[in-house]
């Protein structure tokens, strides 16, 4: 991966002949700015559908970064799973269930300022951290990305056929990934069942007594009393702040 000074240099020294353009850096710059820019746009946008769209762009650009880094498999997965799957689902979901409180989400100004400050602080911290590691600032020598899915596939059945990275610690334990691969299938099954359960309408019209009991809201007098120590519960949407 190219380092930032090179990119800066490429930016400053313009115009340049096409042959002199470091295409790798250019694409990195492109994907990175798309990814970051639309990530900011997701946060800044008020409309859910727009947010979803910006997110698709941001994640798609991230897939491009993976390709640039030589991780073709990861890039493909990123495209298929996030861009192709999750986000399309989200967009459809949002469009189908679009309701007034969700279409426009507005945080309070104070929240935005605070979140901005905190976010910038965190970003500064992470940047500082990331650039403080010397090996991360220069390309690791001798790492040749192998554009093949074989090592990945083999490691998913538990056998590591790829060579360990040069300079990696000797005591590196390199297990195959059969267990996660298998166990995640159980997990996905469970999660699907859960999703189906939440999506399914309850067939019985009259709930049983117990469920009524469980859904009893506190009587008014208690609710008033509750205001002593209990944090206020906002009615309305969970996400929509500042609404009465």
Partner 1 sequence: MQDIPSSTLLVLVPLLPLVGAILTVALGRTLGSRAHVPAIVGIAASAAVAVTLLFGMVRQVAVGNSAAQQGQQVQPVEMVTTLWEWADIPNAQAAGGTTAASFLIPVALRLDPLTATLLVIITCVGLLVAIYSIGYMHGDPGYPRFFALFSMFVFSMTMLVAASNFLLVYVFWEAVGACSYLLIGFWFTKPEAAKAAKKAFLVNRVGDFGLAVATFLLWMTYGTLNFHDTVLSDGTAVPGILGVTRLADASGYVGGAVGSAICLLLLLAACGKSAQLPLHVWLPDAMEGPTPASALIHAATMVTAGIYLIARSGPLFVACPGALTLVSIVGATTALIAALIGTVQNDLKRVLAYSTISQLGYMFASLGTGTLLGFSAAIFHLVTHAFFKALLFLGAGSVMHSMGGVIDMRRFGGLRRVMPVTAVTFLVGSLALAGVAPFAGFFSKDEILASLHSRGWPDTHGEHQEAVPAGGHAMTAGSFRLVSVTPDASRLAGGDRGSRLDALNQPATWRLLFWMSLVTAGLTAFYTFRAVFMTFTGPTRVPEQAGHHAHGAAGSAAHESPPVMTIPLVILAVASAVSGWWLFSTHGLATFLAATPSFTAPSIASTATPPVFHWDLAIQGTLAAAAGIVVAALGHLGKRSDGPQMERFLGPLETLFANRFYFDQIYAGLIVKPLEFVATLAALIDRYLIDGTVDLVARLPLALGGLVRHLQSGLVQRYALAGVIGMLLIVLALVARAMG
Partner 2 sequence: MDLGSLLTSTLTDTLEVSLPLFRVELALSATIVLVLLCRMLPVLRWLDSALVALGGVAFALWYAWSDLRGLPGSPWPAVVAATHPASQELFGGLLIFDSLTAYIRFLLAGFLVLYILFTKISGIPDREDGADFYTLVLGSSLGMCLMASANHLLMIFMAVEMASVPSYALAGMLKGRKASSEAALKYAVYGAGAAGVMLYGISLLAGVLGTCHLPSMAAELGRIVGDGADSFYVADSAGPIMVLTLGGLMMAVGLAFKLSAVPFHFWCPDVFEGAAAEVGAFLSVASKAAAVALAVRVAFGLGWLGDAADASAAGLADVRHFLVYLIGLMAAVTCTLGNLGAYGQTNMKRLLAYSTIAHAGYLLLGVAAAVAMLGVDPEGCRKAVTALAFYLGTYLFMNLGAFAIVAVLRNRLRSEEIAAYAGLVRSNPGMVVAAGAVLVSLVGLPPLAGFVSKFLIFSSLVEAITKGIERPLMLVLLVIGGLNTVISLFYYLRVLKVMTFDPPPEDRVAAPAPVWLPGALVTAVVVPVVLLGIFWSGLYAYAQLAGTFAS
Place of tokens 């096409």: 18
Q: What is the closest distance, in whole angstroms, from the C-beta atom of residue 99 to partner 2 in the complex?
A: 13
Q: Establish if 139 lies at the interface with partner 2 (CB under 8 A).
A: no
Provide the sign of the torsion angle of the four alpha carbons 33, 34, 35, 38, taken in this order. Answer: positive
Q: CA geometry: angle at 119 spanning 115 and 124, to 5°?
A: 155
Q: Name the segment binding partner 2 (CB under 8 A); options: 56-64, 72-80, 97-105, 120-128.
A: 120-128
DSSP string, 169-189: -TT-----SHHHHHHHHHHHH
Residue 241 near residue 107, CB atoms below 8 Å: yes
Output 70 or 176, the one with its CB closest to partner 2. Answer: 176
Output 5 or 15, the one with its CB closest to partner 2. Answer: 5
Residue 107, binding choice from partner 1, partner 2, none, Cβ under 5 to 8 Å by partner class: partner 1
Output 10 or 54, the one with its CB closest to partner 2. Answer: 54
| Binding-site member from 21, 95, 125, 145 for partner 2 (CB under 8 A) | 125
In the numeric block, which tokens belong to residue 11?
């930016």
| Binding-site member from 11, 21, 104, 115 for partner 1 (CB under 8 A) | 115
Helix (H, G, I), strand (E, B) or coil at 47: strand
Residue 176-215 contact track with partner 2, rule CB under 8 A, x = bound: xxxxx--xx-xx-xxx-xxxxxx---xxx--xxxxxxxxx
Number of Cα atoms under 13 Å in the Cβ half of residue 137: 9
Point out which residues bind partner 1 (CB under 8 A): 107, 110-111, 114-115, 118-119, 121-122, 125, 228-234, 238-239, 241
């Amino acid at each position: 991966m190219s380092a930032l000074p090179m990119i800066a240099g490429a930016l400053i020294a313009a115009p340049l002949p096409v042959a002199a353009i470091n295409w790798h850096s250019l694409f990195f710059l492109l994907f990175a700015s798309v990814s970051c820019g639309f990530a900011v746009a997701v946060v800044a946008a008020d409309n859910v559908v727009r947010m979803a769209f910006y997110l698709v762009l941001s994640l798609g650009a991230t897939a491009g970064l993976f390709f640039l880094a030589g991780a073709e498999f990861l890039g493909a997965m990123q495209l298929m799973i996030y861009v192709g799957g999750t986000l399309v689902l989200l967009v459809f979901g949002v469009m189908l269930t679009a309701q007034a409180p969700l279409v426009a989400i507005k945080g309070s100004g104070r929240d935005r300022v605070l979140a901005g400050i905190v976010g910038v602080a965190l970003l500064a911290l992470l940047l500082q951290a990331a650039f403080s590691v010397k090996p991360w600032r220069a390309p690791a020598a001798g790492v040749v990305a192998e554009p093949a899915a074989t090592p990945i596939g083999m490691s998913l059945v538990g056998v590591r056929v790829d060579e360990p990275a040069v300079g990696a610690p000797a005591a590196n334990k390199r297990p195959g990934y059969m267990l996660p691969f298998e166990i995640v299938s159980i997990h996905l099954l469970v999660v699907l069942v859960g999703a189906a359960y939440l999506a399914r309408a309850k067939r019985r019209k009259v709930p049983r007594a117990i469920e009524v009991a469980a859904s009893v809201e506190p009587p008014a007098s208690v609710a008033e009393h509750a205001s002593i120590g209990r944090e206020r519960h906002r009615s309305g949407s969970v996400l929509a702040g500042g609404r009465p």
